[in-house]
Amino acid sequence: MGTTGAMGNPPGGLTRPSPCPPSCDGQCLVKVLLVSHSDGGGGAGRAAHRLLRSLRSDGVDATLAGDSLSSQDPDVIPLGGAFDRRVRLGIEQLADKIVRPQDASNFSAAASGALTPRLVRKTGASVVNVHWTGYGAASIAQMGHLKAPAVWTLHDMWTLGGGEHYYNPGQEQANGSWVLDRKERHWRRSRLLITPSTWLREQAAKSPIVSHWPIRVIPNPLDLTIFTPQDSSAAKLSLGLDPLTPVILFALTNDLSDPRKGADLLVEALHTLHTRWPAGQPHPHVAILGHERAPMSWTGLPFDTHWLGRTFDDEHIALSYAAADVIVVPSRMDNLPQVATEAAACGRPVVAFDIGGLSDAVEDRRSGYLARPENAEDLASGLLWVLSTPDKAQQLGDQARQKAEREWSFSRISGLYQEAFLELIENSRS
């Protein structure tokens, strides 16, 4: 699959000689509107903004519309005005009070939204790519009744069932039935779904709503010029770490008590690692990226711990990966956590549980280590296996970087999305 770079594209569009459909006469002009709650902060917003940049770098006329904006990117526009947004947030908060979900942070009613026909007309979009749309970015009805060709990129399980963003299939809370009923009523037209991981595609196949919809697996893109290998000793010194001491990095912007992200399993694994650490070898340090200080539940850790603070600056995040000898991702359930792909792109081995999209991100014993799900002792075994031999860790990191170059580059992911957009437009015409 070849893609045409920006130098060969006409202004404001995309030229694709193949697989350009015959009706385009070789000149397929695609104008893409990406819709996301944010353009940064959380993983879904960062992924949407990176996709925007990858499409733009390939000459595609693309715009991202969002509510919580922080990038200062000229190709990012607000979904609506400040008053409009307050109204939509108020409706969502009212819906939460009526439905009373067990965990409001894991639930979206999607009763309000800004994804209107006016927005599509305003941007002149020929295709709409919907991303994470919580907090009133897009309502269920708006998503279902879009007239323009639409691609939905899933960043969690919300689209597949009721109102929960993550759940064990068959164990959704009863208060999601109202959301599920509205989806079944409004989502009668199939849409093309894109899942960043194989696991999420498998979950979609079990969905009572979208199991018969077409699905493609396309990972999230990474800027491999930012997330790239750097000198580890220099990175450690710049962050105030000892360059001679091995470092285990855990990166998380969520609350450390979030059970899905598995911080409790990491603490258990660190205690196990401490008891099994070889005598006479310098103990590793632990670095936590995403938090300023330790919560009460994190007292008494067996290793010296450094709190690197909260940041969404990609260059600083890449520097933090460079300062680590291994990155640990202890999630119980996850789509394609970008911590794992970013770390791999920086040439760092990843130790994680063999769950969700982590099975796509990490090649077991080749670019990292996949432990048995929720088994803290095996997670400790993976950390010990990587750290015990520096040459092995370097080899794992090199192979992780090669995987990133093969699978997550801007040019590859942009090309896959362009194919999906062009096919969708042609199908809508016929």
What whole-number percentage of the chain has pLDDT above 70? Answer: 92
Instruction: State which fold the 6-221+409-429 domain adopts.
Output: Rossmann fold (3.40.50)
Cα 172 to Cα 161: distance, rounded to the nearest angstrom: 8
Neighbouring residues of 389: CB distance < 8 A, sequence distance ≥ 6: none
Give the pLDDT mean for 10-19: 40
CA-based radius of gyration for the chain: 22
pLDDT surpassing 80 at residue 430: no
- 191 by Cβ neighbours in 10 Å (0-12 / 13-18 / 19+) ranks as buried
Q: For 95-209, list the strands marked E by DSSP.
A: 127-130, 150-153, 192-195
Q: Do the domains at 6-221+409-429 and 232-407 have one common CATH topology? A: yes
Pair 383, 351: CB distance under 8 Å = yes
User: With DSSP H G I counted as helix, E B as strand and the rest as coil, what are the percentages for the chain, rounded to 5?
Assistant: 40, 15, 45
Cα 405 to Cα 399: distance, rounded to the nearest angstrom: 10
Cα 201 to Cα 185: distance, rounded to the nearest angstrom: 23
What is the DSSP code (8-state) at residue 134?
A: T
pLDDT surpassing 70 at residue 89: yes
Longest dimension (CA), the chain: 71
pLDDT: which is higher, 5 or 254: 254
Helix (H, G, I), strand (E, B) or coil at 350: strand
Per the DSSP assignment, residues forming a β-bridge with 352 are: 329, 370
- Among the listed ranges 38-52, 74-88, 285-299, 394-408, which one has the minimum average pLDDT value? 285-299
Scan for tokens 């991202």, then name that residue: 64
pLDDT surpassing 80 at residue 297: no
Pair 337, 357: CB distance under 8 Å = yes
pLDDT surpassing 80 at residue 98: yes
pLDDT of residue 16: 44
How many degrees, rounded to 5, is the angle at CA 366 between CA 284 and CA 307? 30
pLDDT of residue 296: 74
Helix (H, G, I), strand (E, B) or coil at 168: coil
Instruction: State which fold the 232-407 domain adopts.
Output: Rossmann fold (3.40.50)
What is the DSSP code (8-state) at residue 240?
A: T
Tokens (6 digits) for 191: 């849409």
To the nearest 10 degrees (0 to 180), the angle between helices 314-322 and 338-345 is: 70
Q: What is the mean pLDDT of the chain?
A: 91
pLDDT of residue 18: 37
Give the tens place of pLDDT for each residue, 356-379: 999 999 999 999 999 999 999 999
Give the pLDDT mean for 321-334: 98
Band (304; pLDDT cuts 50, 70, 90):
very high
pLDDT of residue 28: 52
Give the pLDDT mean for 208-234: 97
Q: Give the long-range contacts of residues 17-25, CB within 8 A, separation 24 or more.
A: 19/419, 19/422, 19/423, 20/422, 21/422, 21/423, 21/426, 23/426, 23/429, 24/422, 24/426
Q: Where are the domains of the chain?
A: 6-221+409-429, 232-407
Tokens (6 digits) for 379: 């997670």
Nearest Cα neighbor of 116 from 35, 209, 39 is 35
pLDDT: which is higher, 351 or 101: 351
pLDDT: which is higher, 65 or 257: 65
Give the tens place of pLDDT for each residue, 17-72: 334 444 444 445 789 999 999 999 889 999 999 999 999 999 999 999 999 999 99
Q: Give the long-range contacts of residues 340-344, CB within 8 A, separation 24 or more.
A: 341/219, 341/220, 341/222, 341/404, 341/408, 342/222, 342/227, 342/317, 342/318, 343/249, 343/400, 344/368, 344/400, 344/401, 344/403, 344/404
Give the pLDDT mean for 397-408: 98
- 213 by Cβ neighbours in 10 Å (0-12 / 13-18 / 19+) ranks as middle
pLDDT surpassing 50 at residue 289: yes
167 membership: H or E segment, kind and range: none
Give the tens place of pLDDT for each residue, 406-422: 999 999 999 999 999 99
Pair 207, 164: CB distance under 8 Å = no
Tell me, yes or no, if the pTM score tops 0.85. Answer: yes
Give the tens place of pLDDT for each residue, 141-196: 999 999 999 999 999 999 999 899 999 876 665 556 889 999 999 999 999 999 99
Backbone φ, ψ for residue 276 (5° rounding): -105, 5
Give the pLDDT mean for 311-329: 97
- 390 by Cβ neighbours in 10 Å (0-12 / 13-18 / 19+) ranks as exposed
pLDDT surpassing 60 at residue 9: no
Scan for tokens 């999630």, then name that residue: 331
